[in-house]
Amino acid sequence: MNLTSSSSSSPSPSPTSTRFTRALGVAALVGIGWLVLFGLFLSPNDRVQKTGVRILYIHVPSAWLAYLAFGVTGLSSAAYLWKRTRNLQWDRVAGASAEVGVLFMGITLVSGSLWGRISWGQFWTWDARLTTTAFLFVTYIGYLAVRDLGGTHQQRAKRSAVMALLAVLEVPLVHFSVKWWRPLHQNETVEKGKLNGLMLFSLFIGLISFTLLYVWLVIHRQRVLALNDQVDDRGLDLALAARREES
């Protein structure tokens, strides 16, 4: 609510970028350029997987980011629910991070099944990590649906924070139940020692640049969400004024 007074005095919307995020965006872009260069051209083929190994340079970073993103959603939700740190800002960070996480998780699933087709000969296998990932994807799509249910900002924040914590409960249960169900674990086709220096470096660039991209996306997205909330508040102010004229 305190946003209202500031927003009504400045009619032009503040941009979501700052000097910091612009630098961050440029850094992410440069990193992705490097990733393309190293991942597609400079790094060698794998002995077993041939050129298919290159998929890993985006698959592994996006998987890592999706998990990071959902972790951030869980922590921000807990921060919102905890009375002493209650602030709608946490809710917006949780929502932004979940959106970006769902995006990265989608990339993970698609790139992973393509890679699986090349190296295992099949798109899908029922191991714990894959299955948990798929469930996370669906669960956070559900979380985003709950965010859209409406009500006041506080109601939205509380409801979705509870949902996020329930998802945190659910994930290990799904993971272990699938793991016990199919104990035969897909051995990691690329063992750590077998990646040569240039391959490791490409993966490293992928991790760094995707992380930068994640931070950039979440900062912008959460600012957009904040602006959305401001628009709602502005709309309420206008509607209030109109309503008062009725009487």
Partner 1 sequence: MNAWGIARLVAAKDLRVEWRSRVLINQVLPFATLVMVMFAFALDNDQTLTRVAPGLVWLATMFSLLVVVQRSFAVETADGALDALQVAGVRPAGIFLGKSLALLAQLAVLELVLMGAAVVLYRTELHAGGVVLLVTTYVAATTGLAFVGTLYGGLAAGAKGRETLLPLLMLPVVAPVLIGATRATEAALGTEGATPSDGWPWIGLLILFAALFGVGGTMAFGSLIDE
Partner 2 sequence: MRLVDVVAVLGGFPALAGASLTVERGEIVLLRGPNGAGKTSLLRLCAGLLAVERGQATVLGCDLTLDRAAVRRRVGLLGHANGLYADLTVGDNVRFWGDTVGATEREIAASMERMGLANRLMDVPVGRLSAGQRRRTALACLVARRAELWLLDEPHAGLDAAGRDELDQTLRAAAAAGATVMVASHELERAGALASRVVEVVGGQVRGAA
Contact residues for partner 1 (CB under 8 A)? 135, 138-139, 141-142, 145-146, 149-151, 155, 158-159, 162-163, 165-166, 169-170, 173-174, 176-178, 180-181
Taking the C-alpha atoms of residue 243 and residue 247, their distance in angstroms, rounded to an integer, is 7
Q: Which residues pair with 15 in a beta bridge?
A: none
Any bridge partners for residue 46, and if so which? 50
Q: Which does 231 bind (CB under 5 to 8 A by kind): partner 2, partner 1, none?
A: none
Contact (CB, 8 A) for 165 and 78:
yes
> From the CB of 180, what's the least distance to partner 1, in Å?
7
The helix or strand, by DSSP H or E, that contains position 8, with its residue range, turns out to be: helix 3-9
232 binds partner 2 (CB under 8 A): yes
Q: Which does 123 bind (CB under 5 to 8 A by kind): partner 1, partner 2, none?
A: none
Tell whether residue 141 is a contact of partner 2 (CB under 8 A). Answer: no
Of 129 and 234, nearer to partner 2 (C-beta) is 234
Applying CB under 8 A, among 5, 18, 152, 196 the residue interacting with partner 2 is 152
Residue 165 beta carbon to partner 2: minimum distance, rounded to whole angstroms: 21
Q: Residues 135, 174: contact at Cβ < 8 Å?
A: yes
Could you say whether residue 239 binds partner 2 (CB under 8 A)?
A: yes
Contact 67, 107 (CB under 8 A): no
Closest among 106, 105, 77, 78 to 93, alpha carbons compared: 77
Count of residues that interact with partner 2, criterion CB under 8 A = 15
